Structure 1
Amino acid sequence: AGSTADCRPAWARRVEARERYPEKPMIDVTRLHHVSFAVADLDASKKFFGELIGFKELDRPAFGFRGAWYAIGDRQLHLIEHEGAGREVTGRISRSDHMALEVKDLEQVREQLEAANIQYGRGSNDDLGFSQIFCSDPDGHTIEFVRYF
């Protein structure tokens, strides 16, 4: 009896999966607008995203709760201060609960993280042609930095 394991590369399986769906999606999404993270300590998160990573803070409407908005190119990151946020969140899985940022120089990212005493890990996805560095923001959200070969 032969094995039923699919030995094709991951990209080939993804292409086949895409072919199962109609050409035109039911909802015509044009692009991602923003990512939003709940944070326990807005000031610590602003230091991480504004000072360490260097995102430009945007004006934000005067909602009835604390928060901050940042530009990521022509997209946005919204931070929402919430008492229940933080590392105590159970069930967080870094491979699904994360934000990935494409960068020009992973070595510069490594140097900045080390200078700020932030622990990080490295990865590589040869099938897709990029290297990665992973770290956590002050609330434990995984931040992935990606550089294509």
Structure 2
Amino acid sequence: MHITKCLHAALLVTDLQRAENFYSNILGLSKSEMRSLNFPGTWYQIGDFQLHLIVVPTVPSQIQNAEKWGRNSHISFAVDDLETAKQRLIAHNYPIQTSAFGRPALFTKDPDNNIIELSQV
């Protein structure tokens, strides 16, 4: 077997409207209109990659390391201006944690506590 690329990731959310606000309006991702899901949720197209949001009644906490968010399950996105991303998250009251290693990256949490990494490339 030879894996050539990652196609998609799926995150569990409890409130689709609240999650869509975060991913569409705060992170600026574009929802895919190419096809609909056969279950409650939505999907975003990011280049060749897809992010699926799947609605469930409750999201179990996967945070094992509250001190260092990057040492938990997370998804990472590249941004062209990390400071602008940071200021946008702060303006909308989303928590942030900078990289413990001093690299240009930060972590935040979506409304269901899914950890999102933003790295400047």
State the TM-score, normalized to the length of structure 1. 0.71
Contact 2:62-2:73 at 8 Å conserved across structures? no
Contact 2:61-2:113 at 8 Å conserved across structures? no
The alpha carbon displacement at 1:105 in A equals 1.0
Identity %: 30
Contact 1:124-1:131 at 8 Å conserved across structures? no
Residue number in structure 2 paired with 1:77: 51
The alpha carbon displacement at 1:118 in A equals 1.1
The alpha carbon displacement at 1:84 in A equals 2.4
Runs of 4+, deviation exceeding 3 Å = none
Mapped partners of 2:14, 2:52: distance in 1: 13
Q: For residues 81-126 of structure 1, what are the alpha-carbon distances to aligned partners after superposition, in whole Å with 9 as ceiling and x for unaligned?
A: 01122xxx24433423100111111100111011111121111536
Residue number in structure 2 paired with 1:120: 96
Contact 2:11-2:53 at 8 Å conserved across structures? yes
Contact 1:57-1:68 at 8 Å conserved across structures? yes
Matched positions, count: 115
Mapped partners of 1:47, 1:124: distance in 2: 28
Let me know the Cα RMSD of the aligned residues.
1.6
Partner AA of 1:106 in structure 2: L
Residue number in structure 1 paired with 2:107: 134
Structure 1 regions of 5+ residues with no counterpart? 1-26
Residue number in structure 2 paired with 1:5: none
Mapped partners of 2:62, 2:42: distance in 1: 25
Change in Cα spacing, 1:31 to 1:118, as seen in structure 2 (3 Å) is same
Residue number in structure 2 paired with 1:109: 85
SS in 2 for 1:107: helix
Mapped partners of 2:8, 2:82: distance in 1: 24
Q: Which has the higher contact order (CA 8 A, sep 6+)?
A: 2
Residue number in structure 1 paired with 2:36: 61
Mapped partners of 1:135, 1:98: distance in 2: 10
The alpha carbon displacement at 1:39 in A equals 0.6
Mapped partners of 1:45, 1:99: distance in 2: 15
State the TM-score, normalized to the length of structure 2. 0.85
Contact 1:132-1:147 at 8 Å conserved across structures? yes
Q: Which one has the largest radius of gyration?
A: 1
